[in-house]
Structure 1
């Protein structure tokens, strides 16, 4: 188990920042640290449970001991149980939290508005890129707009893990994958093919590609071409 180095004072632990653990059963002291062994809590110190980011961040600016739990081999992490710090520091952090509530709420709302505007702009750009990628003839422009809009809604759901949310691909590649996936599931018999056990990798690109090309400017009319007729 690796714990980040601390800035503990070798002379007075109460003046430093330590990572500590609960002592083993039967051992003296309140906590144990790698630097100092078993330790008793300094007079006037209190325990701050996790959950309040503002208070915890403020408390950690001064001397404190972070209490860690047992390392989870299965989960691969070490939970933080809370922070020991001077009681006066914790009380001051709570007072400051109350005093700045309105200010932080205004800042939060402003940030929320900015994120919403950024998300709206991203979706607009994504939808336009989908429309451009489809490149349908003029007579099918409305269909292209519908596909672009619905493909964007499907691919760009926040926290969905779908292709529209990834930062690993360029926009053009994300758009191509999003449009093909939408066409595959909504304008072909792809789902029916899967129900009959048809190999997914063999046909999904072919079917979606045929559906896109059938509407593009090189074609005079819209039709959904089945794989056997795409030669």
Structure 2
């Protein structure tokens, strides 16, 4: 069965074209209508999703509540500027109003309101009233670990094991260790493990020393190449399914661009999706990749940004042009 939109409703349709009785979940509805979702590493597992406010067919923004591993809580999703923002419980009324008003950039509007609330609070007075101390918090670009916070020196007798060899890392982490993180632009990612030098050497020898490392690296590369080919092939298939009238040259261009490092087609939630989640992840990736291509190649988006127009506003300006091309490419030849 396939999903189709008929008379403002999204329904399941059988192979013979007749409507099925199966109910369409809210998760399927937002995916079908092209709303972004806050996928995270591990495939963006979402066990349940409920639309609280908005109609995904008619509205450019919807408020949803999700329950899952990678994303949980209330989110405001915007189709216009391809953005999704986590909503605090006390912001629900504001989020519902933003859905009704169809703001150009939900993130900019939320940040504006949040800043107004922060600026209205006298932090020093509040801290004094509650008997608290106030520290100034600064983001920094550097290394840190949970045990020692900002990290500068490796303890005597310990050594650094960089990420990359999963078998060796797992074995070393059975003993005493610290996970070294790299913090940049407010985000953190693990870059390696700090552990006693003797433990690292013992684990390396138990796994076959240098020869064992070479075998694991060779096997890893073979597996990566197979996975890369499979993802690229399936992504191209998904693009063609959703946009049957996309020119062949454009199909190759979109697929190639999406699979480059740092692009949506190489994101963790695509690359490490389980078999059950890969199809849905690639469906979402296909739409995002095609929209990004149209935005940069078929509109004045880049020129508008060069004029100093905020990103959210620029995306809103060209959203109509993007939808026109999307509808054209969706048509069956």
- What is the TM-score when the length of structure 2 is the normalising length? 0.37
Query: Using the alignment, how far apart are the partners of 1:174 and 1:188 within structure 2?
Result: 20
1:203 paired residue number: 317
Q: Which structure ranks higher in relative contact order (CA pairs < 8 Å, sequence separation ≥ 6)?
A: 2
Query: Using the alignment, how far apart are the partners of 1:192 and 1:76 within structure 2?
Result: 33
Question: Larger Rg: 1 or 2?
Answer: 1
User: How many angstroms does 1:211 deviate by?
Assistant: 1.7
| Aligned residue among 257, 261, 270 for 1:154 | 257
Flag the 1:110–1:201 CA change in 2: closer, same or farther, 3 A: same
Query: Using the alignment, how far apart are the partners of 1:213 and 1:104 within structure 2?
Result: 51
| Aligned residue among 189, 192, 203 for 2:303 | 192
What stretches of structure 2 of length at least 5 have no aligned partner? 1-146, 149-154, 271-279
Contact 2:179 2:193 in 1 (8 A): yes
1:135 aligns with 2:135: no
**Larger relative strand fraction:** 2
Contact 1:50 1:82 in 2 (8 A): yes
Instruction: Give the aligned length.
Output: 160
User: How many angstroms does 1:206 deviate by?
Assistant: 1.4
1:112 aligns with 2:226: no
What stretches of structure 1 of length at least 5 have no aligned partner? 1-19, 22-30, 32-45, 137-142, 220-231
2:42 paired residue number: none
User: How many angstroms does 1:204 deviate by?
Assistant: 3.1
Structure-to-structure mapping, 1:35-74, within 5 angstroms: 47-51=157-161
- What is the TM-score when the length of structure 1 is the normalising length? 0.51
User: How many angstroms does 1:215 deviate by?
Assistant: 4.4
Contact 1:155 1:165 in 2 (8 A): no
2:196 paired residue number: 83
Flag the 1:96–1:187 CA change in 2: closer, same or farther, 3 A: same
Once superposed, which parts of structure 1, at least 4 consecutive aligned residues long, lie more than 3 Å away?
52-61, 64-69, 74-77, 79-82, 89-97, 193-198, 214-219
Flag the 1:129–1:101 CA change in 2: closer, same or farther, 3 A: same
Q: Map Cα deviations across residues 112-165 of structure 1 (whole Å, 9 max, x no partner).
A: 1111111111011101211222221xxxxxx6222222112222223x153552
